[in-house]
Structure 1
Amino acid sequence: TPLWLDGPLAAAPDVAAWLAFHTGARIGAAPSQAAFALVADAAALPDLAVFAQGTDVYPDRSTTLIVQVEALSGAAARLRLAGPGISGHATLSITGLPADIVDRLAANHALFPRGIDLVLAGPEGVAALPRTTRVTLSEA
């Protein structure tokens, strides 16, 4: 499985060695070739377009991003989530993502069935934002 590491993770040689030993994953230099990407610096999240987007025929050939965030609560802006698997809507407040994340995720959603899936890991747990999720700013 091709794996891409962001700058802080790639700069720590023990990370790549541990991942390669325990998972057998190939660590790659190109995010567009990665099945999974690990991002430790969420504020410096690369443009989602640099990752594999899949195709209309093979949407599963896209990159899944696993992003470490400061917290899954406490942010000034609350995100409103809607889509498959969500009854009505849900809200989420994520600390540490770039200010333009709502616009990035809207552009990603518009690519469906192509696009990336996002897994956010914080001290409180994990939240997944698949490409099918519509993300907007919550009014309340």
Structure 2
Amino acid sequence: MTEMQYPSGVIEAAHSFRTIMDAVARPGRILPFTAVPPAPWPLWTTTASVARTLCDFQTPVWLSPELCTEPVTHYIRFHTGAPIVSTPEDASFIFLQADDSMSDLSRFAQGTHEYPDRSATLVIQTASLRNEGHVELSGPGIPQPLIFHAEGMSSGFWDAMARNHAQFPLGVDVIFVSPDAIAAIPRSTAIRLQETV
């Protein structure tokens, strides 16, 4: 199989970078995100585009067991040069599949008070993203409280995200990727679970 690169190289990478940065600057906003390069299953093309845009030889990557296949690890090493590490606390970028049991964010690098940027960014594949549900976001980049939903994420995860915000400037940042969209929730974003009937 021939290794594929972006057909339009710099233009395609620049478009992906702008979209990702826009998502980070506007937390909870769901932005269309299309990707050209093919990717080995179970890595979506949109997730692969995030990896190719943000990862390099200086950013260790950890893959959840669902994503840690030989074709995926080869793909990431070949296209980004990023080392694949065996322990999540050693990674700069964490690639995960949405999972109801994901409620412990402390196992990922949190940064230090001297170097808060030495924290992890979680890239989570989710089947769908919607601005509805019972999770309310507020904070920098959000002019008014915003409702957010990522398929497969439990209340336990959102409780963990609220604790993550409470330790700002430490903590992890999160990028959600669906098959055709992207949204980000940095650690500066406050999380509140609305009451459900």
Structure 2 length normalisation: TM-score? 0.65
Q: Is the 1:74–1:95 Cα contact (8 Å) retained in structure 2?
A: no
Alignment of 1:1-140 (within 5 A): 1-10=59-68, 12-45=69-102, 47-73=104-130, 77-139=133-195
Q: Is the 1:66–1:118 Cα contact (8 Å) retained in structure 2?
A: yes
Specify whether residues 132 and 74 from structure 1 end up closer, same or farther in structure 2 by C-alpha distance, changes over 3 A only: closer
Map of 2:24 onto structure 1: none
Report the Cα distance in structure 2 between the residues aligned to 1:83 and 1:74, rounded to whole angstroms. Answer: 16
Report the Cα distance in structure 2 between the residues aligned to 1:44 and 1:4, rounded to whole angstroms. Answer: 18
List gaps (5 residues or longer) in structure 2. Answer: 1-58
Q: Is the 1:52–1:116 Cα contact (8 Å) retained in structure 2?
A: yes
Q: Is the 2:98–2:151 Cα contact (8 Å) retained in structure 1?
A: no
Aligned length: 138
Once the two structures are superposed, residues 18-57 of structure 1 have per-residue CA deviations (whole angstroms, 9 ceiling, x without a partner) of: 1001100000011111000000243343621000000111
Query: Identity of paired residues, percent?
Result: 39
Structure 1 length normalisation: TM-score? 0.90
Once the two structures are superposed, residues 46-90 of structure 1 have per-residue CA deviations (whole angstroms, 9 ceiling, x without a partner) of: 621000000111110000000001211387x42110000110211
Q: Is the 2:91–2:120 Cα contact (8 Å) retained in structure 1?
A: yes
Report the Cα distance in structure 1 between the residues aligned to 2:79 and 2:101, rounded to whole angstroms. Answer: 27
Q: Is the 1:78–1:94 Cα contact (8 Å) retained in structure 2?
A: no
Report the Cα distance in structure 1 between the residues aligned to 2:118 and 2:131, rounded to whole angstroms. Answer: 34
Q: Which has the larger radius of gyration?
A: 2
Shift of 1:122: 1.4
Specify whether residues 139 and 51 from structure 1 end up closer, same or farther in structure 2 by C-alpha distance, changes over 3 A only: same
